[in-house]
Amino acid sequence: MKKKKKQEIQQLAASVAAVQSQVAFARLATALAVVSVGAMAVGALAIGRLVIRNMALKEGQVDRLRINELEVGRLKVRELLTEHKV
């Protein structure tokens, strides 16, 4: 009887530990996903700025500049769109 109860306690402890490790992994994966989305948004912003500068140098002017806010987690990113005369 005592041995059976001890086995039940060990199995319960093992299942609790397994759930805790799964929760920890899920939290880590979520944090990494948020960081990667933020990095992609910042990268897109940097590329957009380079394109705008490049177009301004090649074409001589930028007619319209529209700024829309895109919110990713706590990070606010501005997306730059341009239209130019051909």
Instruction: Give the total number of structural domains in the chain.
Output: 1
Give how far Cα 22 sits from Cα of 8, 15, 28, 56, Å: 21, 11, 10, 51
Give 86's pLDDT tier (boundaries 50, 70, 90): very low
Domain extent at residue 69:
2-83
Tell if the pTM clears 0.85, that is, is over it: no
Strand partners, 71: 76
The pLDDT-based confidence of 40 (bands split at 50, 70, 90) is: confident
The number of C-alpha atoms within 13 Å of 1 and in the hemisphere containing its C-beta is: 0
Is pLDDT at 20 greater than 50 in this prediction? yes
Nearest residue to 74 via CA among 47, 45, 48, 42: 42
- Looking at per-residue confidence, does 59 or 12 come out higher? 12
For the chain, how far is it from start to end, CA to CA, in angstroms?
87
